Amino acid sequence: MTAAVVATGARALPARRKRLAPSALLASAACVGVIAVMGAPLALSFLASIKTPADASAIPPHYLPQALSADNYFKVIGYEAGLATYVANSGLVALMTIVACIALAAPAGYGLARFDMRGKEVAFLLLLAPIMIPYQALLTPLYLDFAKVGLVNTRVGLAIVHTILQLPFSIYLMRNSFEAIPREIEEAAMLDGCSSLSRLIHIFLPLALPAIVTVALFAFINSWNEFLAALIFMNRESSFTVPILLVSVQIGHHGAVDWGALQASIMIAILPCLAVYLALQRYYISGLLSGGVK
């Protein structure tokens, strides 16, 4: 009985498989080449992170480790205040940045997309104007203002700075996403007696979920990787974030660069961003495209 079923299935298979067109083969080869180019730095960083300290600092350098060692990871984990402290600081700041960006960008994008008011386009351009200003120029006045109100060297203060840097793009993305939602849905909700706030919470936010996830993803990655503001606003070891750890851990004996520890800390810093992106990539792609086609 089993042999008959197998034989029937084998006869059902096509005798010849379809051959890929030359253009498809060329596109596949190009994709493999791009993946190789993009993945090569990560592979080299990982290989350097598992070298012994002497092997990682060898001159001339070599790509493959002569011996495998986890000493670099142990050094990063136990560095100064401890890796868990730096990761917790970065994670808490990134979480507050995400919440603030969504809480501010969603109502602002909804108002700019759905309400008719005089000077709406001018207000929208003014909200986007900070994108054209190098954020490094804003750090000095922000530091002076935050010092007066006691927000320097606090995670809340750093989260506010990251929110200020990320908010213009978040508003732009939410506005485009809300504009792409058909007006018929909003009109049906208005006939059912929904208020503006109720329409935003129960209709627009669920429909704009990909854009919200995209805002959260951008806010997380930018906050997690941001270095200069964290370096300026934080001056206590226990308040440092992961990017500051990368700079601190690279100093070896007599001021030499400890390449092994540096690459190990880079690999540790990459993992949360990679995990979050892989988990949310389908929302990320659709969120960027929302509002692009009408």
Domains of the chain, residue spans = 84-238+282-289
pTM of the model: 0.81
At residue 133, the pLDDT reads 85
At residue 95, the pLDDT reads 95
* CA Rg value for the chain: 26
At residue 251, the pLDDT reads 66
pLDDT, block means (10 residues), the chain with 294 residues = 48 52 84 90 87 78 80 81 85 95 93 85 86 86 91 92 93 90 85 85 88 91 92 86 82 67 86 85 66 47
Q: Which residues, in sequence order, are bridge partners of residue 251?
A: 257
At residue 27, the pLDDT reads 87
Q: Please report the DSSP string for the chain in residue order.
A: -HHHHHHHHHHHS-SSPPPPPHHHHHHHHHHHHHHHHHHHHHHHHHHHHTS-HHHHT-SS--SS-SS---HHHHHHHTSTT-HHHHHHHHHHHHHHHHHHHHHHHHHHHHHHHH---TTHHHHHHHHHGGGGS-THHHHHHHHHHHHHHT-TTSHHHHHHHHHHHHHHHHHHHHHHHHHTS-HHHHHHHHHTT--HHHHIIIIIHHHTHHHHHHHHHHHHHHHHH--HHHHHH--SGGG--HHHHHHHHTB-GGG-B-HHHHHHHHHHHHHHHHHHHHHHHHHHHHHHHTTS--
At residue 163, the pLDDT reads 94
Q: Tokens representing 4?
A: 């008959």
At residue 148, the pLDDT reads 92
At residue 5, the pLDDT reads 45
Whose structure tokens read 């050094």?
75
At residue 19, the pLDDT reads 64
Q: Which one is the CATH code of 84-238+282-289: 1.20.1250.20, 1.10.3720.10, 1.20.1260.10, 1.10.1740.110?
A: 1.10.3720.10
At residue 287, the pLDDT reads 59
* CB 114 within 8 Å of CB 186: yes
At residue 293, the pLDDT reads 46
d(CA 174, CA 114): 12
